[in-house]
Each structure stands twice: as C-alpha cells, then as structure tokens.
Amino acid sequence: MNLKKGMRYVMAILFPLVGITHFTNSSFFLVIVPPALPWHTSLVYISGFFEILFGIGLLTKYRKQAAYGLILLLIAVFPANIYLAISPIAQAALETSQSIAIVRLPFQFLFIWMAYSQTKNT
C-alpha cells in the first residue's frame, strides 16, 4: 500500500469517527465554538455530518470532491481550534492546557495536506 492510499484509509476512518462524536458528545465541541458565532449546536451537528460524509466519500468514486470538501471543512472549523488555544474557559472545560491546544493547531494543516493529496491522480 502506498502512502497516498494509506492516508486515505486513515482519514476515512478518522473523520467519520470524529464526526459521530459530534453527535454523541456534542458538549465537547460546543465548548470550542467561538462565542461570536451563532447557532452553536447547529454548527457542531453540521460539521459532524460533513466529517462523516466526506470521510466516507474518500472511499468512493467521488474521492476528489470529498477531499476538497474536507479541505473546506478543516478551514471552516479552524476558528474553533484557535478559540481553544486562546480561551482559558474552553481549555478548563476540556481539561487541557494552552500549550496542548497550541500544539494541535499545525495538525489542521497536516490534515489539509493529507486531504489535498487525495485530489491528485498520481
């Protein structure tokens, strides 16, 4: 199995599992939605739905579209990761430190790169 295919399978497992968690443990995600955004619960459910959809989509003939969808989704949810990194309230609610929240930020770019790799024919 090559690296590209391996990344596809990792994402096809990871994103649907995390997406399901948006429904089974929505309080975790609600805490990191920036207060300036409206409809917190709806945003959590919508992002979870698309994580499931695009993750599974990576295993279909619509792989490229799913990958682009994941890229857009990862960009859309990045403010939540930034909010976690700067909000002592969110950090306390999730029992994490600012250092850990900051270390998590670059992983969004890794996931974007992994998704982008699925848009290429090679």
Poorest-confidence range of 1-5, 7-11, 30-34, 109-113? 1-5
pLDDT digits (tens, 9 = 90+) for 50-68: 999 999 999 999 999 999 9
Closest CA to 53 of 29, 18, 90, 81: 18
User: Number of H helices and number of E strands within the chain?
Assistant: 6, 0
Predicted confidence (pLDDT) per residue in 64-101, tens digit = 999 999 999 999 999 999 999 999 999 999 999 999 99
User: Distance (Å, rounded) from C-alpha 5 to C-alpha 116?
Assistant: 13
Name the pLDDT band for 122 (thresholds 50, 70, 90): low
Whether the CA torsion 70, 71, 72, 74 is positive or negative: it is positive
List the domain boundaries for the chain: 3-117
Q: What is the mean pLDDT of the chain?
A: 95
